[in-house]
Amino acid sequence: MQTVRASIAKIQRLLSWGRVLRLVWQSSPQWTVARTVLLFMQGLMPLLWFYIVKLIVDATAAGVQATNTDVTFNSVLGLLGMLGLVVVIMDLSDSASEFVDESQALLVTNHIFARLHGKAISADLEYYENPEYYDTLHHTQKEAPARTALVLKDCVDLCRGLISLLAVAGVLLSLHWMFIVLLVVTKVPEVLAHLKYAREVYRLGRQQASTERKANYFNWLLTDGWHAKENRLFALGEGFMQRFQDLRQQLFRERLAILLKNFIRKFLGKVSGNLAGVALLVYVTDRAFQGEITIGDYFLFYWVFRWGTANLQLVLRSLVGLYENNLFLSSLYEFLALPSRVKAPLEPRAIARSLQTGIEFEQVSFQYPTGTRQCLEEITLSIRPGELVALVGENGVGKTTLIKLLCRLYDPTAGRITWNGINLREFDPTELRQAISVVFQDYAHYDLTVRENIAFGKLAFADDTDRVVQAAKSSGAHAFIQNLPQQYETVLGKRFDEGEELSIGQWQKIAIARAFFRDAQVIVLDEPTSALDAKAEAEVFEQFRRLADDRAAVMISHRLSSVKKADRIYVFDQGRIVEQGRHDELIQQQGIYARMFEMQAQHYR
């Protein structure tokens, strides 16, 4: 049974090489063709060089003893001319090969990054809450681009080496068949050493992924500007440095043990190969003294054997490299094959241009795939066109999770959500999200221009300057943008040259402008005014309220003063809706909402 499984594993690895070669071909078909032509030239031209030199040596030796040296010299001169032409062709093919290799490696790397990024932005959000996903992603990002280019190089080297070895075998066979056997056998220890090392390095790499991520995390804490203030204020730097160094030392010790064993194996393998070369030298020297071969033959046999040894080593190293790189590329295949729970239907329904009957949550429950508790339990609520709906409650009671389900970043574990009476699962998720604009509490900061930060709300209208400015005015951002050095062309953040940093409140206004810019059917603000003063909060709320006149609007807020004028308020507690109604109705109920409002109102009396 184990033999069968081992055979299946080998077949899978061979098929994986094919997948890698398909990636290479997809990234650069023209360069692949050029490389194929060059490898035949590189594989055969050295043998022609050896043979011409052999003829030159024999002709020179004969010319020394000849009576008409002019004729002999002229013949040698012709051979030297041929040798010079061969040398030029070899140099040209080598230089062209280097140029093609480096160019193709860049294209392959770009293609792999495109595949990685494509999968990363399409992978279900749940993967970003799973440490195993980050380990796989880290290992893939670290290894896949370079390893794919190495597979290409190994395939080229393998083909070139095989072409050369066929020519070498023909020459050595004329001397004695045992030298072909000797050539192959002496390289077996080195190949086994490489295979052993490849397996050990791969296993270690998978084991060290989590440790490397921790080390990278401490490196980020030490070098990123976001933590610079607290590093100094709380004197955290020395401790983070020590933890980083401890982790790097652990990685070094584990790798050093493997390197030491590999050094011993490789040394023994190289010694056996070199001793085989000495044995051939003894044999051909003896035959030369006996007059059985010429000086040119002596030169040819010895250097062809040495060249054959080098090419056999190239072939075996390429095979080992293919094996090793394929092991590492298994992380790439694993990453690209991640299944998706949130899928588009085969025949998706079209999203209506306007929200007609509204959105319904019908007995919706949800538990995160990696969680152990229900985040939402039997949620039933409605969001009507033209309504402003408020979701309130303490942190962690499921308000933001509800919005993630609305955007179909996750699917409910029970119940259903409908849009104009149609289940969200019947829409293409990408098209659905285009109809919703959300500012989450942990909104993104893009270290790009103000214009880009706002226009990311809807890239199709990124060149519409009036629309960008109007969105900024609606969020209250226009005033401070006018005071920036390049106004809407100012780069934000300090990551790049000439960048301008904003306050938290200003960043929040930019994020709200991005949501307004989208002009979506549903607009959601998750704690949209937490960093704004009372005046700015009132202005944003009024603008938000006006936007709800012809679309649906949802606001999540801890500041109950912001939600007093909402058409409907849902109060969440422990993943359930425990109260609902207008502000006055909820105050009269004297429940959770009334107590929360009273506690906040005391601060303003």
The answer to the question of residue 349 being in a domain is: no
- Evaluate the CA torsion angle 548, 554, 559, 563 in order and state its sign: positive
Q: How large is the average pLDDT for residues 378-390?
A: 89
Q: What is the pLDDT of residue 261?
A: 76
Examine the fold and report which residue of 301, 336, 371 is the final residue of a domain before the chain moves on.
336
Pairing of β 576-581 and β 568-573: antiparallel
Pairing of β 568-573 and β 388-392: parallel
Query: Are residues 211 and 66 part of one domain?
Result: yes
Q: Out of 13-17, 468-472, 475-479, which region has the weakest mean confidence (pLDDT)?
A: 13-17
pLDDT higher than threshold 70 for residue 438: yes
Q: What is the pLDDT of residue 6?
A: 47
Reference 312, options 188, 192, 194, 152; nearest CA is 188
Q: How large is the average pLDDT for residues 574-596?
A: 89
Torsion angles phi and psi, residue 105, rounded to 5: -60, -40
Query: Are residues 299 and 370 part of one domain?
Result: no
- Evaluate the CA torsion angle 471, 477, 482, 484 in order and state its sign: negative
Q: Decide: residue 286, CB within 10 A, 0-12 exposed, 13-18 middle, 19+ buried.
A: exposed
Residue percentage of the chain with pLDDT more than 70: 78
pLDDT higher than threshold 60 for residue 10: no
Examine the fold and report which residue of 336, 368, 387 is the final residue of a domain before the chain moves on.
336
Query: Are residues 387 and 316 part of one domain?
Result: no
Query: Are residues 439 and 315 part of one domain?
Result: no
Q: Out of 131-135, 425-429, 482-486, which region has the weakest mean confidence (pLDDT)?
A: 131-135
Name which residue leads in pLDDT, 528 or 404: 404
How big is the chain, counted in residues?
605
Name which residue leads in pLDDT, 116 or 305: 116
The answer to the question of residue 347 being in a domain is: no
Query: Are residues 380 and 326 part of one domain?
Result: no
Query: Are residues 589 and 545 part of one domain?
Result: yes
Distance CA 373, CA 499 (A): 44
Name which residue leads in pLDDT, 7 or 65: 65
Q: How large is the average pLDDT for residues 382-409?
A: 87
Split at pLDDT 50, 70, 90, the class of 3 is very low
Q: Domain of 19? A: 2-336
The answer to the question of residue 499 being in a domain is: yes
Q: What is the pLDDT of residue 337?
A: 78
Query: Are residues 492 and 538 part of one domain?
Result: yes
Name which residue leads in pLDDT, 115 or 178: 115
The answer to the question of residue 121 being in a domain is: yes
Q: What is the pLDDT of residue 8?
A: 42
Task: Return the CATH number at 536.
Answer: 3.40.50.300
Query: Are residues 331 and 365 part of one domain?
Result: no
Burial per residue of 386-400, b for 16 or more beta-carbon CB atoms within 10 angstroms, e otherwise: ebbbbbbbeeebbbb
Distance CA 176, CA 500 (A): 77
Q: Out of 53-62, 293-302, 435-444, which region has the weakest mean confidence (pLDDT)?
A: 293-302
Q: What is the pLDDT of residue 113?
A: 81
The answer to the question of residue 344 being in a domain is: no
Q: How large is the average pLDDT for residues 427-438?
A: 88
Task: Return the CATH number at 156.
Answer: 1.20.1560.10
Query: Are residues 239 and 136 part of one domain?
Result: yes
Reference 325, options 98, 6, 20; nearest CA is 20
Place of tokens 């930060």: 453
User: Are 198 and 327 a contacting pair, CB within 8 Å?
Assistant: yes
Query: Are residues 164 and 49 part of one domain?
Result: yes
Torsion angles phi and psi, residue 520, rounded to 5: -85, 170
The answer to the question of residue 56 being in a domain is: yes
Split at pLDDT 50, 70, 90, the class of 416 is very high
Query: Are residues 65 and 160 part of one domain?
Result: yes
Query: Are residues 379 and 299 part of one domain?
Result: no
Residue 417 contacts by C-beta under 8 Å, 6 or more apart in sequence?
359, 360, 361, 362, 364, 405, 406, 423, 424
Q: Out of 113-117, 245-249, 426-430, 435-439, which region has the weakest mean confidence (pLDDT)?
A: 113-117
Estimate the share of the chain in helix, then strand, then coil, as percent rounded to the nearest 5. 70, 10, 20
- Measured CA angle at 590 (ends 589, 593), to 5 deg: 95
User: DSSP string spanning 134-199?
Assistant: HHHHHHHHHHHHHHHHHHHHHHHHHHHHHHHHHHHHHHHHTT-THHHHHHHHTTHHHHHHHHHHHH
Mean pLDDT, the chain, rounded, equals 78
Split at pLDDT 50, 70, 90, the class of 549 is low
Long-range CB pairs of 276-281, under 8 A, 24+ apart, other chains included: 276/182, 276/183, 276/186, 276/309, 277/305, 277/306, 277/309, 279/182, 280/179, 280/182, 280/305
Q: What is the pLDDT of residue 4?
A: 41
The answer to the question of residue 232 being in a domain is: yes
Q: How large is the average pLDDT for residues 224-253?
A: 78
Q: How large is the average pLDDT for residues 599-604?
A: 69
Q: Out of 83-97, 280-294, 492-506, which region has the weakest mean confidence (pLDDT)?
A: 280-294
The answer to the question of residue 452 being in a domain is: yes
* Number of domains within the chain: 2
pLDDT higher than threshold 60 for residue 579: yes
Name which residue leads in pLDDT, 227 or 408: 408
Most confident of 139-153, 334-348, 553-567, 579-593: 579-593
